[in-house]
A and B are shown apart, each in its own frame.
Chain A
Amino acid sequence: MGILQFLFWLLSAVALTGAIMVLASKNPVHSVLWLIVVFFAISGHYVLLNAQFLAVVNLIVYAGAIMVLFLFVIMLMNLNTVIETRKNLWMKAAGIISGGILFLIMISVVRSSADMVSRTAQLKEGSIGLIETLGKVLFTQYVVPFEISSVLFLSAMVGAVVIGKKD
């Protein structure tokens, strides 16, 4: 086991633990903090794949900006006193069953994918995630979706102003 594999397993373990803790934490602030841990672990995976730009952007955008806004909302709503909403037992059971079935499907898919077996990720090589390659691809091959997504952001912005402005 080389150092890269070791890091891979470590990061995966951290990501999974973090993700489970996001759900298991009673305190929403803790959930958000665990989510940040997950983002860090995923950024670590990006670095292993030599996608440094993606790694750092993942941190800046998700961990640095979006999660801060989450924290804002949660802190201001003062959700730290645990309010356990009562849930119907049947709903819980249905949720567990359907979630479990989905989980089973995903596992069996990964196990039985003949096209995936014997494939490994490219560690430490490949230039897809580097800023130069990404920039070039974004402005040539993917320029149409890139530009059109500005309409998406514009509409979200207009919406935020419409909703947020005082009448």
Chain B
Amino acid sequence: MNLLAFDWALLIEKLVLIAIIITISLVVAMYATYGERKVAAWMQDRVGPNRAGPFGILQPLADGMKLFFKEEIIPNSSNKFLFILGPCLAMLTAMMTSAIIPWGSELRIGDRVISLQIADINIGILYVFGVVSMGVYGIMIGGWASNNKFSLMAALRGASQVISYELAMGISLIALLMLTGSLSLKTITEQQMAPGHYWNVLYQPLGFLIFFVCALAECNRAPFDLSEAESELNMGYHQEYSSMKLGFFLFSEYINMFISSVIMATLFFGGYDIPFIDESKYNPNLMAWLGVGALMVKALIFIFVFMWIRWTLPRFRYDQLMNLGWKALIPLALINMVITAVVILKYFN
């Protein structure tokens, strides 16, 4: 029975890592809701949640409890299986992206070297794309299965938006990949850490800008939250959802935001690199932990920027959104790609 003959220690190590990462993502997402409300309050000169616990710190827990204990309603005319599958898929795909992100360098415990990355596959960033493109199905299936016109419209909007912006995102990434020559996020991070190299954002400022705008759109965040445009579509694609199924949709959005922040930090801002410090000179374990911290700080800054934008900019109209995507971002990304290619060919070949 050599079915069972593989490295059990590795399996356990990876399972623990997965559990930790998922827990962290969930906690971050939970507190992102809290953060969002606090940021919004701050921008609007209010106090924000302050009842549950000191500074309202327990507010996310209270919200979660509320969602769990609410009555679960499945509309009669809906397609029951798909109705439940929708939020599950949204949550699943949101979580899956975390698998290839290098959260830190390596930990050394005794003889064992534990990589702080679940899987370093050589197609890294493409995997993210694959999973993100699957994320559309959560919205679409949920919206369609609700059997509600508003939900369907919102779902279609959300899906076409994600597909449209994926193109510009991909093209802006190609420019970056021409620089790095690798799709593996680990390699990309290590390249940026190497002495004499700077963060990729310095080489690809336009690429980063395009990527950032597209990330906003991919996460269905304001100003691109067309699929939740309350004024036109009531609640959007999760109109018919209640209880924790609604919670899953909302949660997956925050997880997506967190993950895309981490990916941006990894691709363009050095990942777990601590700026101005040569990590190799210090204790590797300590540096690994600090690196994780650095990555988190970068991600939190991005999350803050996401929220800042949400509470500053008004929502786009749908045709404006599509025009921006197809007529501005894609040509820009193409120009960026061509320029990068020419420069690489001419000066670095």
Complex A–B touching at CB under 8 A? yes
Q: Which residues of A contact B (CB under 8 A)?
A: 1-3, 6, 27, 29, 33, 36, 52-53, 56-57, 59-60, 63-65, 68, 71-72, 75-76, 80, 130-131
On chain A, the residues within 8 Å of B2 by CB distance are 1-3
In the bound complex, residues from chain A placing their C-beta under 8 Å from that of B121 are 52
**Max chain A Cβ within 10 angstroms of own Cβ: one of B5, B133, B183:** B133
Q: A52-B122, A72-B156 are in contact. List 8 more A-B contacts (CB 8 A).
A: A33-B141, A56-B129, A59-B133, A63-B133, A63-B134, A64-B130, A64-B134, A68-B133
Is there a chain A Cβ closer than 8 Å to B123's Cβ? yes
Count contacts on B: residues with CB < 8 A to the other chain.
28
Query: Which residue in A6, A63, A68 is a CB contact (below 8 Å) of B3?
Result: A6
Q: Across the interface, do A65 and B133 meet the contact criterion of CB distance under 8 Å?
A: yes
Q: Are B130 and A60 in contact (CB under 8 A)?
A: yes
Considering the complex, give the chain A residue whose CB is closest to the CB of B134.
A64
**A residues less than 8 Å from B82 (CB atoms):** 29, 33
CA distance A53 to B130 in the complex (A): 11
A-B CB contact pairs (8 Å), 22 listed = A2-B2, A2-B5, A3-B6, A33-B82, A52-B123, A56-B127, A59-B133, A60-B126, A60-B133, A64-B130, A64-B136, A64-B166, A65-B163, A68-B133, A68-B137, A68-B140, A71-B144, A72-B160, A75-B140, A75-B144, A130-B122, A131-B123
A60 touches B129 (CB 8 A): yes
**Number of A-B residue pairs with CB-CB distance less than 8 Å in the complex they form:** 68
The reply to whether A59 and B152 contact each other, CB–CB distance below 8 Å, is: no
B159 within 8 A of A: yes
- Chain A residue numbers with a CB within 8 Å of B166 are 64
Cα separation A65 to B152 with both chains bound (whole Å): 18
A68 touches B136 (CB 8 A): yes
Chain B's nearest CB lies how many Å from the CB of A9?
Answer: 12
Rounded to whole Å, the gap between the CB of B182 and the closest CB of chain A is 9
Q: Nearest chain-A residue to B143 (Cβ)?
A: A75
Residue positions of B touching A, CB distance < 8 A:
2-3, 5-6, 79, 82, 121-123, 126-127, 129-130, 133-134, 136-137, 140-141, 144, 152, 155-156, 159-160, 163, 166, 183
Closest to B152 in A: A75
* CB proximity of B110 to chain A, nearest CB, Å: 28
In the complex, which of the residues A36, A52, A68 has the most CB atoms of chain B within 10 Å of its own CB atom? A68
B144 touches which of A3, A29, A130 (Cβ 8 Å): A29
Chain A residues closer than 8 Å to B6, beta-carbon distance: 3
For the complex of A and B, the 6 pairs showing the least CB-CB separation, nearest first, are A64-B133, A59-B130, A56-B126, A56-B130, A52-B123, A60-B130
Contact flag A53-B156 (CB < 8 Å), given A1-B3, A63-B134: no
B123 and A53 within 8 A (CB)? yes
A3–B5 Cα distance when bound, in Å, is 8
Is A36 in contact with B3, judged by CB distance below 8 angstroms? no
A29–B150 alpha-carbon span in the complex (Å): 18
Chain B positions within 8 Å of A68 at CB level: 133, 136-137, 140, 159, 163
* Cα–Cα, bound, A27→B152 (Å): 17
What chain B residues lie within 8 Å of A76 (beta carbons)? 156
Q: How far is the CA of A1 from the CA of B163 in the complex (A)?
A: 41
Residues of A contacting B5 with CB < 8 Å? 2
| CB–CB B123/A2 < 8 A | no
Q: How far is the CA of A75 from the CA of B114 in the complex (A)?
A: 47
A72 cross-chain contacts in B, Cβ below 8 A: 156, 159-160
Cβ B134 vs Cβ A131 within 8 A = no
Q: How far is the CA of A57 from the CA of B170 in the complex (A)?
A: 13
Name the B residues within 8 Å of A71 (CB-CB).
140, 144, 159
Query: For the complex, what is the distance from the CA of A76 to the CA of B159, rounded to whole Å?
Result: 13
Choose from B3, B127, B134, B136 the contact partner of A3 (Cβ within 8 Å). Answer: B3
A59–B134 touching, CB < 8 Å: yes
Are A75 and B130 in contact, with the CB atoms below 8 A? no
> How far does the alpha carbon of A59 sit from the alpha carbon of B130 in the complex, in Å?
6
Question: How far is A84 from B93 in the complex, measured between Cα atoms in Å?
Answer: 35
Report how far A43 CA is from B195 CA in the complex, Å: 39
- Which A residue sits closest to B4, measured CB to CB? A3
Point out the residue from B3, B79, B137, B183 that lies within 8 Å of A131, measured CB to CB: B183
Question: Would you give the shortest CB distance from A130 to chain B, in whole angstroms?
Answer: 7
